[in-house]
Amino acid sequence: MKKIALIPGTFDPVTLGHLDLVHFSAAIFDEVIVCICVNPDKKHLFDENERKAMLEKAVSAYPNVRVDIHHGWTADYALAIGAQCIVRGIRNATDTQYELEMADFNFNYKGIRTLLIPARAELAEISSTAVREKLAKGESIEHLVPQSLNWEL
């Protein structure tokens, strides 16, 4: 049976933390789908097509990884693509609490398991929010995002 993982998120924009999670997942799963989950109630710096283009460029070195966009429940999408699990990164206790609650919801809702991967220490402070804040202040983000994307941001 093909092992498929789903990495959902907003990726606004993609960070080195996201890319590390993709790298880890691509090594243990046959196929990894990185999915931009669209929440119409959230305001984004980049639209979903810009985010998809950035993600595709960032993960282009991984032949078993593809990028998609989904409007709706993550667990529904995971089942639709045949994923065995949802993969999520956790950076701190706040992330862990939130992700455990979401994992419980997704399991109870659709029976889909979640694999939580702790961030490496050097990446634990990186978030899309931090990148957006630095961009707004005109500060360098090169140590937060994949090098291949610096010129786009």
CATH of the domain at 31: 3.40.50.620
Domain-located, residue 151: no
Q: Does residue 99 sit within a domain?
A: yes
Domain assignment of residue 58, yes or no: yes
Does 147 score more than 90 pLDDT?
no
Q: Could you report the per-residue pLDDT of 58-96, keeping only the tens digit for each? A: 999 999 999 999 999 999 999 999 999 999 999 999 999
Q: Is 24 within a domain? A: yes
Amino acid letter, residue 18: H
Exposed/middle/buried for 106, CB within 10 Å: 0-12, 13-18, 19+?
Answer: buried
Q: Which residues constitute the domain of residue 82?
A: 4-144
Number of domains comprising the chain: 1
Residue 153 falls inside a structural domain: no
pTM: 0.94
Q: What is the pLDDT of residue 42?
A: 84
pLDDT tens per residue, range 120-130: 999 999 999 99
Query: What pLDDT, in 10s, does the model give residues 131-143?
Result: 999 988 988 898 8
pLDDT of residue 11: 96
Q: Of all residues in the chain, what percent carry a pLDDT higher than 70?
A: 97
The answer to whether residue 47 sits within a structural domain is yes
